[in-house]
Amino acid sequence: MVMQKNILVVDDEAELRDNLADLLKHEGFLVRTADSGRVGLHFFMAERFDVVLLDLIMPGLDGIETLQEMRKVNSQAKFIVMTAFGTINTAVQAIRKGASDYLSKPFRFDELVAVVRRSLEESHFEQRIQACDLDQTLASMANPIRRRIIEILSQSQSLRMTDISLKLGITDHTKTMFHLRILKEAGLLHQSDNKLYLLTTSGNNAFNLLCAFSSRTM
């Protein structure tokens, strides 16, 4: 029997909060909502949540502050930051603080569901890494989009950002740039003077490790 995943939605906008809850319940998730960071933190300390959707701008504890406090309680949960001020820098800051992904308002409900499911897949992947006791290099590749980028570059050697987006099937180039930047900061790829992205030696090693991991868990 598959256990239902538990999701906490923390947003001070009542209409959006309720709409998100209804949508996620329709998708089969268990959902609790909170109208502030402090209320959300109270729920988080009392229950186990697989994914937390956090509005970035809230009175009192904002999304980043709430995320940091929640991670002290349970660092295994996945955090998705929602913001109307979505820039690559804002998203990377959230990732550095412990978020697994971000959504820029306004967003489509299908995009929300995709991000939630991707975060759950990331969590499952990390659990398998721990179970197999593999190199922690894979931790930076837990996100399926970033794994796909590594695979694409291992096959194509070098590509421009627009070509990577095309192969990923992503129309939002900001999203592609975000994942490329995360991989670049992790030292898994670099960008040449003519704007081509290539795997570094660490990136190639990570790809080989990923292949070995995939064959080991089949």
pTM of this structure: 0.66
Q: 212 falls in which pLDDT band (50, 70, 90)?
A: low
| The CATH number of domain 134-217, selected from 3.40.50.1360, 3.40.50.970, 1.10.10.10, 3.30.390.10 | 1.10.10.10
Give the pLDDT confidence of 76-116 residue by residue, as tens digits: 899 999 887 656 777 777 888 888 888 888 888 899 999 99
Better-scored residue on pLDDT, 192 or 3: 192
CATH architecture, domain defined by 6-130? 3-Layer(aba) Sandwich (3.40)
Residue 65 is predicted with a pLDDT of 92
Q: 132 falls in which pLDDT band (50, 70, 90)?
A: very low
Separation of alpha carbons 183 and 205, rounded Å: 13
Residue ranges with strand state E in the chain: 6-10, 30-34, 51-55, 78-83, 101-104, 158-159, 189-191, 197-199
* pLDDT mean over 61-76: 91
Residue 44 is predicted with a pLDDT of 96
Torsion, Cα of 4, 135, 151, 154 (10° steps): 180
- In this structure, are residues 61 and 69 in contact, taking their beta carbons and an 8 Å threshold? yes
Separation of alpha carbons 53 and 172, rounded Å: 21
> How far is residue 198 from each of residues 44, 57, 154, 194, 213, measured CA to CA in Å?
41, 36, 8, 11, 22
Separation of alpha carbons 163 and 134, rounded Å: 31
Token pair in block for residue 181: 């930047």
Q: Which of 51, 163, 41, 168 is nearest to 103 (CA)?
A: 51
Q: 66 falls in which pLDDT band (50, 70, 90)?
A: very high
Q: What residue segments make up the domains of the chain, in order of their start?
A: 6-130, 134-217
Say which residues have a Cβ less than 8 Å from residue 57's Cβ, sequence separation at least 6: 63, 83, 84, 85
- In this structure, are residues 63 and 86 in contact, taking their beta carbons and an 8 Å threshold? no
Residue 150: how many other CB atoms lie within 10 Å: 20
Q: Which of 33, 41, 40 is nearest to 14 (CA)?
A: 33
Better-scored residue on pLDDT, 22 or 185: 22
Q: Which residue has the tokens 């040449």?
A: 192
